[in-house]
Each structure stands twice: as structure tokens, then as C-alpha cells.
């Protein structure tokens, strides 16, 4: 196994430490609170974010942090860690093992390192700019070579979210154009594109911490990451991840917001 970039190795260690904090809470009686945005939060979410910050602060004292639970913390905003301590909290609450800790390093506005760790499945995904994208045991990740949308598999993060966001007409055009459609949601859906098992993932109503590591992993696996307008940003509120071959056609089909129907 090649030597990992220093920041990537530190990020992997941090998410694994978070996993050790999270798992004792899994499938126990949890006290669930509702945040201002109506999303749920548990003690496990907060404890996991805290351990990541503590783990990384000692190695990178000048780096900043942006986390789902504790927001932006003091540090260098030109280099900051972006944290989602539990992506898929609703799965976690209901005892479904498809939840993960997401961690990425943003440098001068560019995501350069990213890690996903699903502790219940003990599955790790990681990438760094120019280094490649890998999963457990340093197995390379590579997107599929399918270049016809009519042969593509489409995955999505939730039908009602797409409808409420005003993307329903474009999404139904995308359904008609693809060979197969499945809904998985959260980080898990994106991994099908990373592995070459699906060609398109669309997701709406998402925050930067939901997307940060997905961007670099998709790109280093040979794919493409943009928002629905085609901008390669984690700040657009939605995300399109593809094997790059069908990306332009998907953007055309999604089209502008046309209102709910």
C-alpha cells in the first residue's frame, strides 16, 4: 500500500475514532432532538464531531472547522476541515446500518482530501487530489464507462425532496431517459457511482458537509461532480454525481426549476 498523504492519513484516523464513539449508541434507546431545520440530532452526532475536532486540532492547529453540529470554529478559513459526524442520522436512529462519518479538507475553496467511513459496515472510502480514490484495502475506485443514458442506472436521494425543490419535471425526464432507477439516499447512493455500479446520482436540499468528501472521491474515481446548474461546487444546495460520460445530457434534462407538480 502506498504512503498516504499526511492530511488523508489524519482524516482516516479521525473518522475511525468517530466510529468508535458512534457505534456504542447504535441500536440503543436514543434521545432524539429536533434542530431548527427540522433535522434530527443525537448525542452520538455531537460526540463524533467533537472527537474529530480534537483529533485533528492537535496535528493541524491552524486549520479551521465547519461542522454540521457546531458550525464554523476558529481557525484558518483558507484551510478547513468540513465535518458531517453522522450522514444518515435518520437511518442511524432507526437501526439501519447505512450511515457514515464524512470528512473533507477544503483548501483555498477547493476540496483536496475526502474520507467516508461507515462504521456499522466498516467500509471506508478515501481520496486526495492527484492521488486517486480507494475503498477498503486500497482497492481503486473507478466509475463506469457507460456513455449512453439509455443504458444508465439512476439513483436518487428522495422523491419528495426533489418534488418540493421544484425539480420534478426534470427528474421525470431523467427517469424516462435512463434504464433503471433506485432510491438509496445519503452518502450510500453516491458510492454506487464511485464503484461503477450506477452512472447518475441526483440529490437536493443538501448542505456543504453532506457533499464535501463526495466531490473529491467522485472526481478522483474518474467521475464528475456539480450542482444542478453545472457548477462544481458543494455550496449549490443540490448535487449531481455521474461517471462524467452522461453528465452533460443529465444537466440538460434536469433543466431549470419549473415549480412543483
Do 257 and 166 contact (CB within 8 A), yes or no?
Answer: yes
Q: Is 210 annotated as a binding residue?
A: yes
To the question of whether residue 227 is assigned a binding role by annotation, the answer is no
Task: Find out whether 52 is annotated in a ligand binding site.
Answer: no
Dist CA 230 CA 181 (whole Å): 22
Beta carbons of 42 and 92 less than 8 angstroms apart: yes
For 17-60, give the DSSP string.
HHHHHHGGGTTS----EE-TTS-EE-HHHHHHHHHHHHHHHTT-
Query: Nine-digit cell at 173?
Result: 425526464
87 belongs to an annotated ligand binding site: yes
Residue 137's SS3 state is helix
110 is in an annotated binding site: no
Question: Which residue ranges are tagged as binding site?
Answer: 68, 84, 86-87, 210
Question: Which residue ranges are tagged as binding site for Mg(2+)?
Answer: 68, 84, 86-87, 210
Amino acid at each position: 500500500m502506498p504512503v498516504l498523504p499526511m492530511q488523508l492519513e489524519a482524516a482516516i484516523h479521525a473518522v475511525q475514532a468517530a466510529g468508535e464513539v458512534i457505534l456504542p449508541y447504535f441500536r440503543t434507546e436514543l434521545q432524539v432532538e429536533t434542530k431548527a431545520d427540522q433535522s434530527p440530532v443525537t448525542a452520538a452526532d455531537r460526540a463524533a464531531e467533537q472527537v474529530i475536532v480534537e483529533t485533528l486540532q492537535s496535528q493541524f492547529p491552524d486549520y479551521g472547522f465547519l461542522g454540521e453540529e457546531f458550525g464554523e470554529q476558529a481557525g484558518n478559513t483558507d484551510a478547513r476541515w468540513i465535518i458531517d459526524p453522522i450522514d444518515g442520522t435518520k437511518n442511524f436512529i432507526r437501526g439501519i446500518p447505512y450511515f457514515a462519518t464524512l470528512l473533507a479538507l477544503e483548501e483555498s475553496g477547493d476540496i483536496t482530501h475526502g474520507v467516508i467511513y461507515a462504521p456499522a459496515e466498516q467500509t471506508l472510502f478515501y481520496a486526495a487530489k492527484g492521488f486517486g480514490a480507494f475503498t477498503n484495502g486500497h482497492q481503486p475506485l473507478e466509475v463506469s464507462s457507460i456513455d449512453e443514458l439509455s443504458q444508465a442506472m439512476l439513483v436518487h436521494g428522495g422523491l419528495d425532496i426533489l418534488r418540493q425543490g421544484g425539480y420534478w419535471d426534470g427528474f421525470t425526464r431523467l427517469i424516462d431517459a435512463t434504464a433503471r432507477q433506485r432510491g438509496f439516499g445519503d452518502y450510500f447512493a453516491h458510492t454506487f457511482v464511485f464503484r461503477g455500479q450506477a452512472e447518475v446520482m441526483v440529490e437536493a436540499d443538501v448542505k456543504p458537509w453532506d457533499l464535501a468528501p463526495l466531490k473529491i472521491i467522485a472526481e478522483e474515481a474518474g467521475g464528475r461532480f456539480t450542482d444542478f446548474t453545472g457548477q462544481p461546487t458543494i455550496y449549490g444546495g443540490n448535487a449531481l454525481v455521474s461517471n462524467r460520460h452522461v453528465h452533460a445530457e443529465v444537466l440538460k434534462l434536469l433543466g431549470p426549476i419549473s415549480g412543483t407538480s
